[in-house]
Amino acid sequence: MVDLWYALVAISFTTYVVLDGFDLGAGAIHLLVAKNEAERKAVFAAIGPYWDGNEVWLLAAGGTLLLAFPPVLAAAFSGMYLAMFLVVWALILRGLSIELRGHVDGDLWRAFWDFVFCAASAGLAILFGVALGNVLRGFPIVAGGMIVLPLFADFTPAPPTGLIDWYTVLVGVFALFALATHGALFLAHKAEGDLAKRAERFALGLRFPLVVSWAGCFAASLFVARVRFGPAPMAGLVLAVLGLGAWPVLIRRGRPLYAFLASCLFLAASLLGIAASVFPVMLRAQDGRSSVTAESAAASPHALGVGAVWYGAGLLLVVGYFVNLFRVHRRGAASAAPSPRSGYP
């Protein structure tokens, strides 16, 4: 049962990154690929039906941690209050920018909220990457299972460490490139005309920094994170390489939907492979002795059993909702019906 809940936590976070990742990426690049108000509205129309639903997966992942592994959530919050609040503020600002940009008919007003949307989206991608880097690098876990973590120490991943060092920054930069590419491929699929072509060119322009940053993270993780390579992590690595290599070929052949799906495969395989490589450790201690494992942090067997029943029922409803959502909005952004939200076209 503990293994099942570990897998559910990993799947929840992976689903969030794959789904919310495309609208985070689209937000981060929309000022670069959308050259006028009509194209910016097309970007908002493309992500409009999805963004708030996608963010539910972040709540689901946190709720899953709280139900199944409460000490992990408690320890993470104890050491990363600043990062958590930055994430919350960025999420708030993204929602406000989408909702408020159309409330006043003024170029300066829209330009301000477009900048906020871009900065908050890019900031979230970096913050999530830095968080992943911290999980892989390990934490200074003190007595009682709590984490004491300053913003930064000497900028190296060796103890004493802070939230930010060269390794976590490298993972944050990779996350920005990966989600920006993901968002560009989504816009290449959903948009039409010059906006779609510009998004395709932007994605192709990011392929080199994406590959370099991914390779850098992989090489650094071998020494900093000391990940293990069993059958499941190796399968994730192979699938990630296939996805990373496939989307440039598919986008050049005029198959933007399949290129976007290849990007989904790359992100999902990378994250699930990472989860498999560190199992059963959930919070690795830098001293190697006080790590928090899935077994030591798990709730009671009764709680996990009851939770599994309700989780399964809720998951069926959520999956049905998203299947219907993507079916209803399968058309391109340019042909999408106007949204009742004032921030959309």
pLDDT tens track for 57-73: 988 898 899 999 998 88
pLDDT above 60 (res 338): no
List all residues 6 or more positions away from 72 whose beta carbon is below 8 Å from its beta carbon: 65, 282, 283, 292, 297
| % pLDDT > 90, the chain | 51
With beta carbons less than 8 A apart as the criterion, state whether 292 and 282 touch.
yes
Taking residues 70-97, report their average pLDDT: 87
pLDDT-derived band at 267 (thresholds 50, 70, 90) equals very high
Query: Tens digits of per-residue pLDDT, 33-44?
Result: 999 999 999 999
User: What angle separates helix 256-278 from helix 193-224, to the nearest 10 degrees?
Assistant: 20
Q: Nearest 5 degrees, angle CA 213-CA 240-CA 190? A: 90
Q: What is the pLDDT of residue 144?
A: 64
pLDDT above 50 (res 287): yes
User: What angle separates helix 166-190 from helix 107-137, to the nearest 10 degrees?
Assistant: 130
List all residues 6 or more positions away from 317 whose beta carbon is below 8 Å from its beta carbon: none
Mean pLDDT for the chain? 88
Neighbouring C-alpha atoms within 13 Å toward the C-beta of 178 = 34
| 232-236, 292-296, 332-336: range with lowest mean pLDDT | 332-336
Cβ atoms within 10 A of the Cβ of 148, count? Answer: 11
**DSSP element (H, E) containing 54:** helix 51-68
